[in-house]
Structure 1
Amino acid sequence: MSLLARKRERELTGFQEGGPYHPSYDLQTDFVMVYGIGKNMQERIRGWKEKGYVVHLMTGVSWGGYQHYLNGEVDGRQHWDEAQKNRRGEPIIHGTSADIPYMVPTIAYADFLTEQIRPAVDAGVEAIHLEEPEFWVEGGYSDAFKRDWEIYYREPWQPPHATVDAQYRASKLKAHLYTRTLDRICSALKEYAKVKYGRDIRFYVPTHSLINYTQWRIVSPESKLLELPGVDGYIAQVWTGTAQTPNVYNGVRKERTFETAFLEYGIMQELVRGTDRRMWFLHDPIADDPKHTWHDYRQNYIRTLVASLLHPHVSRYEVCPWPRRIYQGTYPKQGGDGREGIPAAYATELQIVLHTLADMDQPDTEWLTDNVQVGVLLADSAMYQRNHPEWSEEATAFKYDGTEVASALGSEFMELLDWSPFYGLTLPLLKHGAAVRPVQLDNAGRFAGYLDDYKVLVLSYEYMKPESSGLHNVLAEWVKEGGALIYVGDGSDDFHQVREWWNQGAKAYASPKEHLFACLGVSAALEPGVYPVGKGSLAYADVHPAQCALDPAAAERLRLAVDAAMTQASAAKDAALRWQATNSMVLRRGPYIIAAVLEESVHDEPLTLRGAYVDLLSADLAVRDAVTLAPGQQALLYDLSRVAGDGGVALVAAASRVEGFGEREDGFSFLARGPEGTLASARFRCPREPQAVFIAAAEGPAEQAVFEWHAESATVLIRYANRPESVSVEVRW
């Protein structure tokens, strides 16, 4: 009964909000991130604390309302030279306000942010979130950046658009500058909290996934933050806005929200897997783009939600950003004029889901479908290759941030967002039922045994580069011990020529692939095919990975290479690696069943699950003996055959935070808390049929309520109006 014994201190669920406490968005999660440093920050912190929340602070680290710093009011010096600028010399602006630029993170800027955040430590927050350290690829032209280039590289600044080498080096510097800034802020304030208050304070970085930042052409530190002792973890900012970015599969560009989200959450899980760093997965029931209907928001929310739950190594969640815009906002009506607030059923469903998420830390997990796990290696350096000297000035100055529909962009700009080399390696496998996980290549050199959970890895250096030669020693050892490595690439990438370790000093390799092959003990001129390497295997396909997105024949060639490498590795160590093509993915996490059926897959047959389930995506927590999913549909179910307990009362799900549970001979009772104005559902497994249910608001008279008994499942459904100050529910036999 973990949902009945939730401790806020575990910080399993939370949300961010810039406004003061309000009962309409009192979601009853474990913690709240008070957003923004302002004059009323202490008041907002105090308001949420008084309502029982663990309180964190969140603020932007690459932008914010820092005009007093920019205009010289802080230290007597103007700092507009630290605004990120594009090739045209234009400041790169956050949103639409011309006085809020994205910043080059100088030492002075880091020290300014430290002083701005210090009052939050004084106010007693438990943790601080430094949101979105972002440097746009079209940046690199401001005076501050030029100065840092000369300090870092000890050579004159070069325009990033001059050569691929200049572009690559500019992006590496951008990642370094935000790494340095976060290290400086976190270290200074952790020491301050220790010295002044004798307490520990934690720092987290809410960040888009490496996949999304690369696709949207943004540079961020990502895995480099794992090397900073002052950073305690991340929030994976994956939501409908990122996952709806179109990509190309079998030559067709379109939105593939579920698949994109699955890959995005996957790289964020793998970022911290095996480390002591914490990760929360973000969901957003709407999006930054306010032009969609509630129906559209709900569909895409479910796609991202289910995609996240298929990654069982993460069980903490930011259940939404900005609940005020969800519970108080209005959006276009479906098929008509005007706007409307959140539908009552959707509000109830969201409450059911966010409280279910607090129970996802389930040690007992298993795939119920035959989805072979395939890792596709991905490095931070993918972000460094997202501008090219041959692109037009207009293209190199292009900035997309998800606040508009990407499909409405012109074709030239749509192509800039495709990032087909990555999707060419992942979608052909995922669409045929492989549980594709993007694996953080950089971590293979940081953490011993990081690759041990994988038996199959796909790699290409046509859109990213290894940042150290030691990574190849790790990969070679992994293959020789029995791994199946599939290398895909034709050597055509211009960025093989950048000044890096594989072509400097005594090394004279034309590309990092040649060094990798040398470590594997095979010829650099290897013909395409499958080769034994120790107990493992190497499959080599001399095709550019982007072709696997554009051409169905190339995608099939990739699948055949993966299958052949698995077969070769299996024969070498007498242990079967098997890939059964399928269009479905079903994972069990304790009593929860997470299921999805893929479109554009091996067939269009639906999936039917039979048993006794509670549908957690229905406002009435419907009990079903069969659930059928067509391609493109997903489900989140509670398997009643796995109800915990000894046959007594057990909570299955509720659209409230349930506390004060007590079971007696004549029935049971509990307290429920939830946002004002929402209708709650709660379903309990009971040893007998209830005869009456009484509901009372705080300090109010009890009233008999209508309830629904489902004899076949031995469960009761209770409906009541949520209240933040609690509703008392008494069930009598």
Structure 2
Amino acid sequence: MQKTVLIYAIPFLLLLACTKPSQREHIQETPKEKTAFQTSNPWKPVTDVRADVAIVYSVKDHHGKADMTFEERVQTWRDKGYTTHFMTGIAWGEYQDYFTGEWDGEWHLDEGQVTEKGDTLWHGHMVPYIVPTQNFIKYLKEKVIKRVIDVGIDAIYLEEPEFWAKAGYSEAFKREWEAYYGFDWRPQHESAENTYLANKLKYHLYYRAVEECFSFAKEYGKSKGMEVRCYVPTHSLVNYSQWMIVSPEASLASLPSVDGYIAQVWTGTSREPNYYNGLAKERVFETAFLEYGSMESMTAPTDRKMYFLTDPIEDWPRDWADYKKNYQATFAAQLLYPMVANYEVMPWPDRIYEGLYRTSADSEEKALIPRFYSTQMQVMVNTLNDMPHSDNKVSGSQGIGVLMSNSLMFQCFPTHQGYDDPQLSNFYGQTMPLLKRGVPVKTVHIENVSFKRTWKDLKILVMSYSNMKPMSEDGHGHIAEWVKKGGVLVYCGRDKDAFQGVREWWNTDGNTFNAPSEDLFLKMGLKAPFEAGEFSFGKGKVVIMRTDPKEFVLEENSDLEFVNTIKTLYGAAPISEKLIFKNHFSLSRGAYEIISVVDENEDTSPYIVKGKFIDLFDPEIPVLKEKRVKPGEQSFLYNIESVTNPQEPQVLATAARVYDEEVTKNSYSFVAKSPLNTTNVMRVLLPEKANSIEITRVNGDAVMAENSWDESSKTCFLGFENSPEGVHVKLNW
């Protein structure tokens, strides 16, 4: 999602088919909300992606190219069998009637986010990034939320509560500062404390905006006899911190009015360069893995619903091969979190199916999405409706976590007194040395340490206050108690950055600590001056490394001490397990096998898996006996040998969604639906080779199709042109 000058792209669309017989449901009889996509346009045959939910964007009438009211746009999707939800931006949107005074007679362009130079940050024409004042919140309630509920929509998504770190100079923000702090506004560029206070206020303003809007939505819904659910589509804490944006993030997960999130992770966020082994470059799979992980860990202890998003393209114009490679990387990364099984399968289907992008990296020629890519994409998307939760763990040594805090966003801009954290290196310094060695490191949010589930299966917690600060001392008691019971804490940091001295709880109201870590160390029985070393506390251990984590990645081969420390601690009591280093991650989820092999690893061998698989990243969905995955690549396979009822006819893989299945003693029939101008491929498991295949449109006309039989897997391959109205398939044997 591009920001400011970046016009953001959003969640991702879902198609789904691969349903096993035991899971088959008639979609229109039993509506589900497992998969979704978002669109600002009405239904069109070329974007009929067949997800469960169409999230209709914006209440603006005659939006874009659609000469329709909001209500008419919603109805076009309902008429095609979709459940309809609603989404709009809370930090920007088509709210020109508010800014120009049409709504209340007052001019409100002074409520845009403004930089030190006096520039308003714009998201589009007359669409500024917003300082969410109480008056703007009132506008959203009356003009947007009420209208959405009045049309019968019971799920509302207010996306991207974002305040740019470089903003904070508008008159509206100055008024909010004085109201919140009780003293005059201070320019954030003048001191670290001013920066911290400014970003803490930005955080509060969108926390307030989300809470008030969602509380109103639930109350108004009840007055209409509806139970309204409220979700926040948001970038990850990793990305916001790296892109220098402030947002409430983890704190919202505990609000009663928030029912869940969409994790807006895609190529555009995950290709942001980071440092490892002295080199800054794109590491899309690894970054996506950490982004999805930070979103999953943010909500898991609070039982909020989480949708994972991917995007087959991205905001910035590139070529189709680039999109495909990075889409596979982010798609594989999301599937390695088996506790999440809801997906926004794509944002903006119009730009995916109808947009023109470069045919190659070195050409300016542009074309629509190639058939091979749209077919592969639809195969991938259609697996998501079948993707199960799983108790399986991604391969590798478990139980190593890295602590995060929302205040990661507070220190990112501007710099003060020499403090610098290039490309969020203090975070990546704690994670990338492990991830690149095949250790599935997880993230832990300090906002969630009061929940018991946060600590489940955690063995080592790595933390630093070099790039974030604890916003209250409450978390320290929970961390200390965990260590006392047998946890192992590794603290990395010099505690010398300018933000250690900002006016906060650790140096006010009787506290006189020079750094917040001193409070934590005292709670664990350590004594000043808190030098580097290993210490015991209860049944657990504390290791202090007086090195900022960024130093582990900014220079070549500088992570060995950190990695060896983790390895030694993992192998000693109270853990006493071997820390396994490898070059890959793998996971089985039902019939699906997800594999990713990392590069920049001493082991450059491919990962080899043998069996009987359908290659879901290949638009021809071939049956393979062996798959080799090279470093820097990912693979997504359907394990035919895992089918529990192989005598039952069933679609195993498809680029369309399957409806109305019927099985008799000697036949199997169904209807396949997918967007116009796309090609369907299917691999259908049958008890024996079909002796006749009938493929027709709904009007009875025959459809040209190709087919083949694979005896080894007992699967029939079918290929034909898709139709949103449906293609009827009948196989007889």
Q: Is TM > 0.5 for Structure 1 vs Structure 2?
A: yes
Q: How big is each residue's C-alpha offset from its partner over 1:559-612, in whole Å with a ceiling of 9 and x where there is no partner?
A: 1121222233xx23xx53321111111111111111000011132111111111
Distance 2:352 2:39 in 1: 11
> Is the contact made by 1:56 and 1:127 (CA closer than 8 Å) also made in structure 2?
yes
> Is the contact made by 1:530 and 1:565 (CA closer than 8 Å) also made in structure 2?
no
Alignment match, 2:265: 238
Distance 1:703 1:553, change over 3 A: closer
Distance 1:438 1:452, change over 3 A: same
Alignment match, 1:324: 350
Task: Output aligned runs, 1:459-608, within 5 Å.
Answer: 459-568=463-572, 571-572=573-574, 575-608=575-608
Alignment match, 1:641: 641
Distance 2:555 2:364 in 1: 42
Alignment match, 2:59: 37
Q: How big is each residue's C-alpha offset from its partner over 1:79-132, in whole Å with a ceiling of 9 and x where there is no partner?
A: 12211111112111114x3x2111100000000111221211111113111011
Matched positions, count: 702
> Is the contact made by 1:372 and 1:433 (CA closer than 8 Å) also made in structure 2?
no
- Structure 1 residue identity aligned to 2:337: H
Equivalent of 2:413 in 367, 370, 387: 387
Alignment match, 1:412: none
Equivalent of 2:205 in 162, 177, 197: 177
Distance 1:50 1:551, change over 3 A: same
Alignment match, 1:424: 429
Distance 1:706 1:254 in 2: 44
Distance 2:569 2:502 in 1: 31
Residue identity over aligned pairs, in percent, reads 40
- Structure 2 residue identity aligned to 1:60: G
Equivalent of 1:433 in 431, 438, 441: 438
Alignment match, 1:18: 40
- Structure 2 residue identity aligned to 1:551: E
RMSD: 1.8
Deviation for aligned residue 1:621: 1.2
Equivalent of 2:127 in 68, 76, 100: 100
Residue 470 of structure 2 aligns to a residue in which SS?
coil
> Is the contact made by 2:339 and 2:389 (CA closer than 8 Å) also made in structure 1?
no
Distance 1:274 1:416 in 2: 30
Does residue 5 (structure 1) correspond to residue 25 (structure 2)? The answer is yes
Alignment match, 2:714: 714
Does residue 86 (structure 1) correspond to residue 86 (structure 2)? The answer is no
> Is the contact made by 1:591 and 1:642 (CA closer than 8 Å) also made in structure 2?
yes
- Structure 2 residue identity aligned to 1:670: F
Alignment match, 1:403: none
Deviation for aligned residue 1:644: 3.1
Distance 2:596 2:704 in 1: 40
Gapped regions of structure 2 (runs ≥ 5): 1-19, 62-68
Off by >4 Å, runs of 4+ in structure 1: 702-705
Distance 1:248 1:470 in 2: 32
Distance 2:263 2:493 in 1: 30
Distance 1:20 1:650 in 2: 33
- Structure 1 residue identity aligned to 2:88: T
- Structure 2 residue identity aligned to 1:50: D
Distance 2:363 2:548 in 1: 47
Residue 454 of structure 2 aligns to a residue in which SS?
coil
Deviation for aligned residue 1:362: 3.0
> Is the contact made by 2:40 and 2:56 (CA closer than 8 Å) also made in structure 1?
yes
Q: Give TM-score scaled by structure 2 length.
A: 0.93
Distance 1:150 1:697, change over 3 A: same
Alignment match, 1:192: 220
Question: Which has the higher mean CA deviation after the structures are superposed, 596-605 or 381-390?
Answer: 381-390
Q: How big is each residue's C-alpha offset from its partner over 1:297-348, in whole Å with a ceiling of 9 and x where there is no partner?
A: 0000001100111111111111110111111111112144421111111111
Distance 2:154 2:528 in 1: 53
Deviation for aligned residue 1:619: 1.2
Alignment match, 1:127: 155
- Structure 2 residue identity aligned to 1:94: H
Does residue 455 (structure 1) correspond to residue 459 (structure 2)? The answer is yes
> Is the contact made by 1:486 and 1:539 (CA closer than 8 Å) also made in structure 2?
yes
- Structure 1 residue identity aligned to 2:152: G
Alignment match, 1:618: 618
Alignment match, 1:277: 304
> Is the contact made by 1:538 and 1:565 (CA closer than 8 Å) also made in structure 2?
no
Deviation for aligned residue 1:212: 0.4
Task: Output aligned runs, 1:290-309, within 5 Å.
Answer: 290=317, 292-309=318-335
Residue 301 of structure 2 aligns to a residue in which SS?
coil
> Is the contact made by 1:605 and 1:630 (CA closer than 8 Å) also made in structure 2?
yes
Q: How big is each residue's C-alpha offset from its partner over 1:266-285, in whole Å with a ceiling of 9 and x where there is no partner?
A: 10011111322111111000
Distance 1:376 1:300, change over 3 A: same
Equivalent of 2:80 in 29, 51, 58: 51
Deviation for aligned residue 1:550: 0.9
Distance 1:422 1:668 in 2: 53
> Is the contact made by 1:162 and 1:389 (CA closer than 8 Å) also made in structure 2?
no
- Structure 2 residue identity aligned to 1:5: E
Alignment match, 2:236: 209
Deviation for aligned residue 1:512: 1.2
Distance 1:162 1:674 in 2: 56
Alignment match, 2:676: 676
Distance 2:684 2:490 in 1: 49
Q: How big is each residue's C-alpha offset from its partner over 1:201-258, in whole Å with a ceiling of 9 and x where there is no partner?
A: 1111110000000000000010121232211111011110001111111111111111
> Is the contact made by 2:301 and 2:448 (CA closer than 8 Å) also made in structure 1?
no
Does residue 658 (structure 1) correspond to residue 665 (structure 2)? The answer is no
Alignment match, 2:699: 699
Distance 2:241 2:425 in 1: 11
Q: Give TM-score scaled by structure 1 length.
A: 0.93
Question: Which has the higher mean CA deviation after the structures are superposed, 711-720 or 376-385?
Answer: 711-720
> Is the contact made by 2:100 and 2:109 (CA closer than 8 Å) also made in structure 1?
yes
Distance 1:648 1:73 in 2: 62
> Is the contact made by 1:377 and 1:438 (CA closer than 8 Å) also made in structure 2?
yes
Question: Which has the higher mean CA deviation after the structures are superposed, 67-76 or 295-304?
Answer: 67-76
Distance 2:667 2:491 in 1: 63
Distance 1:362 1:469 in 2: 36
Deviation for aligned residue 1:389: 5.2
Distance 2:581 2:642 in 1: 29
Question: Which has the higher mean CA deviation after the structures are superposed, 532-541 or 658-667?
Answer: 532-541
Distance 2:152 2:709 in 1: 47
Alignment match, 1:408: none
Alignment match, 1:162: 190
Distance 1:240 1:634 in 2: 15
Deviation for aligned residue 1:488: 0.5
Residue 127 of structure 2 aligns to a residue in which SS?
coil
Gapped regions of structure 1 (runs ≥ 5): 397-414
- Structure 2 residue identity aligned to 1:362: H
Question: Which has the higher mean CA deviation after the structures are superposed, 621-630 or 706-715?
Answer: 706-715
Deviation for aligned residue 1:703: 5.5
> Is the contact made by 2:571 and 2:579 (CA closer than 8 Å) also made in structure 1?
no
> Is the contact made by 1:643 and 1:650 (CA closer than 8 Å) also made in structure 2?
no
- Structure 1 residue identity aligned to 2:357: Y
Deviation for aligned residue 1:67: 2.0
Distance 1:706 1:284 in 2: 30
Residue 9 of structure 1 aligns to a residue in which SS?
coil
Distance 2:589 2:399 in 1: 17
Equivalent of 1:148 in 154, 170, 176: 176
Question: Which has the higher mean CA deviation after the structures are superposed, 52-61 or 70-79?
Answer: 70-79
Distance 1:492 1:559, change over 3 A: same
Residue 696 of structure 1 aligns to a residue in which SS?
strand
Residue 208 of structure 2 aligns to a residue in which SS?
helix
Residue 475 of structure 1 aligns to a residue in which SS?
helix
